[in-house]
Structure 1
Amino acid sequence: MTAFASLRTALKKRAAYARTKRELANLPLDLALEDLGFYTGDADKIARKAVYG
């Protein structure tokens, strides 16, 4: 993989992480807790695991 391809992949992952974190953090607390089973304060950890593995 070229340096440009590696950079592009890293930037795409960073954008996906930021988007996922923002969406999870902005869910209504009752929806997140009762329906989805997570605390919105854990959005960072959940997004990191979802995007980076």
Structure 2
Amino acid sequence: MAYATAHSTAHTGILGRVEAFIEARRENAAKRRVYRQTLRELQALSNRDLADLGIAPSMLRSVAYQAAYGA
């Protein structure tokens, strides 16, 4: 699984704020893609495969969220 890291830089002026906004949107979009892809892959597994991994079917969304957002 892939993940994105945030890089904080000092932006000044309106152009800097616009660039920071665009970068934040890109990072959020990348995290959403990781979440959706992880969730799709987990949902494709059988209940037996999930049990082998120690994941209950009710945990799929939280596991995908952790993979994407690291929470």
Offset of residue 40 of structure 1: 2.4
With structure 1 as the length reference, what TM-score do the two structures score? 0.85
Superposition RMSD on alpha carbons, in Å? 1.2
Larger helix percent:
1
Deviation larger for 5-14 or 21-30: 21-30
| Percent of aligned pairs with the same amino acid | 31
CA distance in 2, matches of 1:42, 1:25: 11
Aligned pair count?
Answer: 52
Unaligned runs of 5+ in 1: none
CA distance in 2, matches of 1:25, 1:42: 11
Match of 1:51 in 2: 68
**In 2 relative to 1, CA 52–13 (structure 1 residues): closer, same or farther, beyond 3 Å?**
same
Match of 2:25 in 1: 7
One-letter amino acid of the counterpart of residue 12, structure 1: A
With structure 2 as the length reference, what TM-score do the two structures score? 0.66
CA distance in 2, matches of 1:50, 1:31: 18
